[in-house]
Chains A and B, each alone.
Chain A
Amino acid sequence: MRLNLVLAPALCLLAALAGCSRAPAPVNFVEQGKPEHLSEWHLLNVADGRLAPNAGVLPYDLVTPLFSDYAHKLRTVWMPKGVSAIYTADKAFDFPVGTVLTKTFYYPRAGGPDAVLETYDAEPGAPAAGLDLSRVHLVETRVLVRRADGWTVLPYVWNADQSEADLERTGDEKALTLVDAQGHGQKFTYVVPNENQCASCHVTNLKGGEFTPLGPKARNLNRTLAYADGPSNQIARWVKAGFLTGVPAGELPRAADWRDARQPLADRARSYLDVNCAHCHQAGGTASNTSLRLDSLGPTDWSLGLCKPSVAAGKGTGDRIHDIVPGKPDDSILPYRLASTEGGVMMPELGRSTVHQEGVQLIRDWIAAMPGHCQDTTPQKD
């Protein structure tokens, strides 16, 4: 419980090595309580017109990310010296007490105070060199901290001049306009979740489940990132940084990149569903009452939605009978719900107010390419 303060000198040294003109304070692992301001953590520094990870704070990215209204995300991981996460094959790594993860949601600006760009183009230098604050609109930073009693989540919302983010435990709403490549603007409400809503995705096990990070799994980290000192595989880099131990020799699991058309369609679709749906739709998950399993480890049968009649969809069926009808995306409930923004219809239930057009298209293409039908209705038991 008292392990953070002794680390300060080591981190000062790191900061100095990183060549900071004035060494920022080292990362502060706040062992309890809920700091009101993001800056109290010293995870991300606002200086010289940039938002950048503090010394020793490692940026990371995912193979396939969760869709969040086209927001870009700057993710970081930090651990106290001398402790590291333990590798696990399928789940999020087993992180030690003291781990602090952050995820900053931002958009490239489109001109005008609340206009933001809908684009997949990465910001120059991101994530390793942080973000140019004149180019981006910061929305929120979520801090996930592993304390002695488990993970705590703290949602911070950025102020208008992007100098500080303040704790908003009950979440927030931001009116934004999303401007696409053709210049068309779409007004939407960006919703910052409250702490409980964070938990409704991050507590993946319905019965006595504990809060857990979702992104940092081996299969989703296993990719190259351009670090300040050159490109490296992220898992190798975590090991080198002392953040990860127990990595087995040989090939590690790797999720398909949902946007990489060279990879098999089914793998990309399953990877997309894994990240966007499976935090609830997994065995024992909060949506297990529906018996729909969308994690990439699940079987390819009725539990994936194949010919499966809906259970609790209500109007979410859109007058369709089955979750997935092979070959027929228009007859399938799954893409219908992904393509909706209406409460009670749209899936995922939380975390978006707009439609992920490219994601919907991927799922539609996947279903369209599936063989078979749902027409065998001969009772087996009669």
Chain B
Amino acid sequence: MHSNRQPRLVPILAASALAALAAMGGCGKSSTDPNARVGDLPVDAAFAKKLQEKLLDAKPGSVIEIPAGHYHLDRGLSLRVNGVTIRGAGMEQTILSFRDQVAGPEGLLAQASDFTIEGLTIEDTKGDALKINSGENITIRGVRVRWTDGPKTTNGAYGLYPVKTKNVLIEDSQSFGAADAGIYVGQSKNVIVRGCRAEQNVAGIEIENTIDADVHDNVATGNTGGILVFNMPNLSQPGHSTRVFHNKVDANNLGNFGAKGTAVASVPAGSGVVINSNSLVEVFDNDVTANATANVIISSYFSTGYFNTRGVQPNYDPYPRGIHVHDNRFSGGGDSPDGMDLKVLKTAMFGLNGRFPDVLWDGYVDTARADVPEERICVDATASGVLNADGPHKYKDPKVVTDAVRCKLAPLSPVTLTPAGAASAATA
């Protein structure tokens, strides 16, 4: 069985591929030049009240349209009704600004199933921009979130943030400037993130403690880390089975501006694809380029510096298992790693002008299960090599292990959304 690289929904993929292409081509609307900030516009109190009323009065099947306009709100919006669609006139046309927010740290907090939000921008929220806390059949389409002052530690943590959700489609959406992860899916099941753009976030796209995710045809560039697949301790479920394919992961070299103590604060600037403590991750058919620490990092929670026996649930599995990196197009990167340890390591092993190979592995192994074939780390020859940095011994005995990890793992199954990413009022 070869993995299925064909799009399941051809028209949508075509559209997202075009969006990705347009983004890669660097066309006009660059994130680094966001629309002028709202400044000191008065709060649109009547608009905010009316919109929140619509959210309170919504019924399954309701479509709440937000016309074009740049609206200034000072309190977070919230939705608790299933089967609702919120639709703006487009991310360039309908903009909800929370610059002077006094309450409700999110821009929009939804606790609802069969929920669709599309065609609008949420900006400058004090907390997370769009949080969806539990729920099934979630579609986020053509939504942009951003912090217009650029990357700042005081920005909201997450941009697009479904957590504890099931059947999630995030497509053709964008995040700029999140102080944690721009597009973040946590503790969820059955997830597709495609055709999105993440830039100037600490983590561009992050899949955390999630089961069955496809992350494809996205662009992650200019973040601290491009695409992250993590398993953190103490959470409701350990994640596994994520496919990261046909993405562009370029030059994620932004200095880490996450607050210390967050998981992403442990990510070195210059990280392309990062897999931490997760299992069954397949990374293929991506363009991964010019990420200055390493194009791919495979690591354990032990390397984050947050592990302690008292604060971490004893049954937590901190090892990456069953990681398959193959058929990617790599170039550049690894030439200017972040952090003194890695700088010293790079210079010692590869010289001042040398570079790390494409895959940097911290070397933590569950020795009891080191011989289980399906739990191996496998990297093919499209990567320039694999460095075991010997994290367990403080980088004392690093070695290139390219040949030792030349193996293959069975391809993972594609994610199928049921229903196919569409909010269905009938199930409400």
Contact = CB atoms under 8 A, between A and B. Distances in A.
Residue picked from B74, B156, B186, B306, most chain A C-beta under 10 Å: B306
A245 interface: no
Contacts of B74: 173
Contact of A189 (B102, B156, B179, B260): B102
B14 interface: no
A200 B76 CA distance: 12
B312 A309 contact: yes
A289 B79 contact: no
Contact of B260 (A203, A206, A302, A321): A321
A343 B56 contact: no
Interface size range of chain B in the complex: 35 or more
B116 to A, nearest CB: 18
Given A171-B75, A196-B55, A317 B308 contact: no
B56 A313 contact: no
Given A206-B133, A289-B187, A309 B105 contact: no
A346 B103 CA distance: 10
Contact of A319 (B103, B259, B302, B392): B259
Interface size range of chain A in the complex: 35 or more
Interface string B77-103: 011100000000000000000000111
A174 to B, nearest CB: 11
A231 interface: no
Nearest to A313: B262
Contact of B259 (A170, A289, A316, A346): A316
B157 interface: yes
A321 B164 CA distance: 24
B261 A375 contact: no
Nearest to A352: B103
Interface string A339-378: 0001110100110010000000000000000001011111
Nearest to A315: B259
Interface in A298-329: 302-303, 306-322
A374 B308 CA distance: 6
A349 B128 CA distance: 12
Contact of B179 (A169, A306, A314, A350): A314
Interface stretch (B21-29, B231-239, B399-407, B411-419): B231-239
A189 B102 CA distance: 8
B70 to A, nearest CB: 21
A381 interface: yes
Contacts of A189: 102-103
A308 B164 contact: no
A315 B179 contact: yes
A197 B74 CA distance: 15
Contacts of B144: none
Contact of B156 (A170, A203, A344): A344
Contacts of B187: 289
A207 B262 CA distance: 27
B262 A317 contact: yes
Contacts of A315: 153-155, 157, 179, 259
Residue picked from A195, A308, A312, A376, most chain B C-beta under 10 Å: A312
Residue picked from A207, A313, A321, most chain B C-beta under 10 Å: A321
A195 B134 contact: no
A222 interface: no
Nearest to A192: B103
A157 to B, nearest CB: 13
Contacts of A191: 75, 102-103
A379 B261 contact: no
A162 interface: no
A350 B262 contact: no
Given A349-B105, A380-B309, A321 B261 contact: yes
B270 interface: no
Contacts of B101: 343
A197 B310 contact: no
A381 B318 contact: yes
A28 interface: no
A308 B309 CA distance: 10
A8 interface: no
A363 B312 CA distance: 22
Contacts of A374: 308, 310-311
Contacts of B282: none
A68 interface: no
Contacts of B258: 314
Contacts of B55: 196
Contacts of B44: none
Contacts of B155: 315
B307 interface: yes
Contact of B79 (A196, A318, A342, A378): A196
Contacts of B306: 309, 321
A353 B49 CA distance: 20
Given A314-B158, A381-B366, A320 B80 contact: no
A212 to B, nearest CB: 14
Given A308-B234, A318-B259, A343-B104, 12 more contacts: A173-B74, A196-B78, A196-B109, A207-B134, A308-B311, A313-B261, A315-B157, A317-B261, A317-B262, A342-B154, A343-B101, A343-B125
5 contacts: A289-B235, A308-B311, A309-B233, A333-B261, A376-B308
The 10 closest A-B pairs by CB, nearest first: A314-B157, A343-B126, A307-B311, A317-B261, A344-B127, A196-B78, A319-B260, A307-B310, A309-B306, A343-B105
